[in-house]
Chain A
Amino acid sequence: MKATLSIALRWLVKAILFVFVLASLNFLLIQLVPGDPALVFAGSSGAADQQMINQIRAEFHLDRPVWAQYIDYILRTARFDLGTSFQHGRPVWDMIAERLGATLLLTGSAWGLSIAVGVALGLVSMRYVGRWPDMLVSSLALFLYAAPSFWLGLIFVLVFSIWLGWLPAFGVGTIGVEHSMLGAVLDKLRHLILPALTLATFYIAIYARLMRGGLLAVAQLDHIKTARAKGVPQIRIVTHHMIRGAILPVVTYLGFHATTLISGAVLVETVFAWPGLGRLTFDAILQRNYPLLMGILLVTSVLVILLNALTDLLLRAVDPRTGVSA
């Protein structure tokens, strides 16, 4: 037990150090972006004069030297105080919390959808390798991989909500309409289908190809021949001997996919008016909203580290060898 504790501790220290370095680099990165938030804030209010701009600059602490701002930022981050957003005058935590729900719902379901459908397609194409289902799945995967997600989203909106009118084209839920508990959930799901599908298409293709490649590779390993020599039927060979090995590349990709989960969906969020963190990040940059942007980057990176740790654990669970290899 003591070993795992020290390992966990070491991992924690490494994670904190990584976040600290990240926070500092975020700060540096954003200072590089030209343009002055005070001007943006004043500009968009339709009328501004020098006094107002100075007033804003003072209020946003932009008048203090950069290094002072940096020290202040690091100290506040250590206390988990992400400061208040310039334009909205509201604590960054609240703004992220509101959007986090929508983001996790969208990217989470897209993530789940892409794994489920991707792995299933991989299995189907393996089962009928060389025959028409395999060709169909491979070309479908290539098509999904090639289609630009935002263009596909627009086509989905054009077909499913404008021409056919089956699904709502935007937003997260119909507002101002009387809902029972179940009705609300159903309504959210109806709104979720198109954006989640658009976001998932790209990754469905990847997981299908990874799964198919994984299965083909495992099929050539010796222990499959041993299993056949033991008289194990083909179905059981696939389920008990092949899938677990073939899922390894899929699980390793999960780690990489996790990094894009949080703010990778800005395109889909733009097309479907989905109030997620991706769109918020994009707007925050345009408005040079430093505290909000740095808050999002910090939360994203912490989440990514946690997700990576999760996928590592998953990888260890699936393949005990990873624990030992040098």
Chain B
Amino acid sequence: MRFLRKPSGLIGLIGIACLLLLALFANILAPADPWAIGARPLLAPLEKGYIFGTDSLGRDVAAGVIHGARVSVFIGVASALATGLIGVTMGLVAGYAGGWLDAALTRTTEFFQVIPAIVLAVVVLSFAGPNMITIILVIALISWPPIARLARAETMALRHREFVMAARLQGESRLSILTGHILPNAAPPLIAALSLSIATAILTESALAFLGLGDPNTMSWGYMIGSGRTMMRQAWWITAFPGVALMLSVLCINLATGAYSDDLTQRLTQKGSQ
């Protein structure tokens, strides 16, 4: 893990560690239920012991931010995995199979890109009702095309590599070649792209919540930003603090991923194996 030596990588990792700690120990750090109407509404930050103040119904913004971390991390990671699953499989199959299957899968990828994300989101959410699972599905449906395109490009580059041809000659099955030879070599850039998609997933979730398409029973940062939007002038803290938390966690994920992929490209160019 040499990329830790780079300052940005280190900061990124520390940030992610804090985020995970926040998410895992949310109910210890903030035992109060974030939805509980405990105090006077619209208390300014630090007033009456509420470090981030309270929102229009008197709910503790700090508890919201802490519990929000849990939702964002869970949705971020889960939808990145789902995106990866769809994207990588589509990319590998299209890249390796070639011919009409490749054309068909590429057309589908293009189609998913042309359809505006919002239409896709509303169709799925109004069909199945907004809850954690459907939101993860929606985010995955919106963000898998770029991953598929990357996976396809990597596979096509590796397909004609000599060790792949040797494997074919030795009678290895397509599946064994895909999983044994192609996937391990295509993994590093894909891992970098997928970790980036964790950050975008968190942003997309907050955008959906902002537009009112989020899950009403979960306290997420996007929901808090959206709910505080109309009271920006009197109660800026309702929107500001979840926004800052959202931005910091996305920033840290990007820092860590950036350091990892820089280190990766450096290692590859040094070895000059490509």
Contact = CB atoms under 8 A, between A and B. Distances in A.
A81 to B, nearest CB: 22
A154 interface: yes
Contact of A148 (B119, B126, B203, B233): B203
A282 interface: yes
A145 B254 contact: yes
Interface in B210-260: 210-211, 222, 225, 229, 232-233, 236, 239-240, 243, 246-248, 250-251, 254-255, 258
Nearest to A301: B114
Contact of B239 (A29, A151, A278, A300): A151
A144 to B, nearest CB: 10
A158 B236 contact: yes
Contacts of A162: 232-233
A256 B146 CA distance: 9
| Residue from B117, B210, B240, B269 with most neighbouring chain A CB atoms (10 Å) | B210
A304 B126 CA distance: 26
Interface string B5-49: 000100000000000000000000000000000000000000000
A270 interface: yes
Interface string A23-36: 00110011011110
Given A22-B111, A33-B126, A150-B225, A157 B232 contact: yes
Contacts of B190: none
Contacts of B243: 147-148, 151, 154-155
Interface in B108-126: 110-111, 113-120, 122-123, 126
B115 A285 contact: no
| Residue from A25, A149, A151 with most neighbouring chain B CB atoms (10 Å) | A151
B247 A148 contact: yes
A281 interface: yes
A146 B225 contact: no
Interface in A257-297: 259, 262-264, 266-267, 270-271, 278, 281-282, 285-286, 293, 297
A18 interface: yes
Contacts of B117: 264
Contact of A29 (B115, B211, B225, B254): B115
A11 interface: no
Given A33-B122, A150-B225, A293-B119, A259 B114 contact: yes
Contacts of A22: 111, 114
Chain A binding surface, main DSSP class: helix
Contacts of B250: 145-147
A142 to B, nearest CB: 5
B211 A267 contact: yes
B258 A259 contact: no
Chain B binding surface, main DSSP class: helix
| Residue from B111, B116, B255 with most neighbouring chain A CB atoms (10 Å) | B116
A190 B37 CA distance: 42
Contacts of A282: 118, 122, 211
Interface string A8-23: 0000000000100110
A70 interface: no
B206 interface: yes
Contacts of B269: 220
A281 B146 contact: no
B118 A281 contact: yes
Contact of A259 (B113, B119, B247): B113
A281 to B, nearest CB: 6
A128 interface: no
A300 B210 contact: no
A281 B254 contact: no
Contacts of B164: none
A146 B243 CA distance: 10
Contacts of A34: 126-127
A301 B115 CA distance: 8
A270 to B, nearest CB: 7
A270 B239 contact: no
18 contacts: A29-B115, A29-B119, A29-B123, A33-B127, A142-B254, A145-B250, A150-B210, A151-B206, A151-B246, A154-B232, A158-B232, A158-B236, A220-B269, A256-B113, A264-B116, A271-B229, A281-B119, A285-B123
Given A32-B127, A263-B116, A285-B119, 5 more contacts: A21-B111, A33-B126, A151-B239, A220-B269, A266-B211
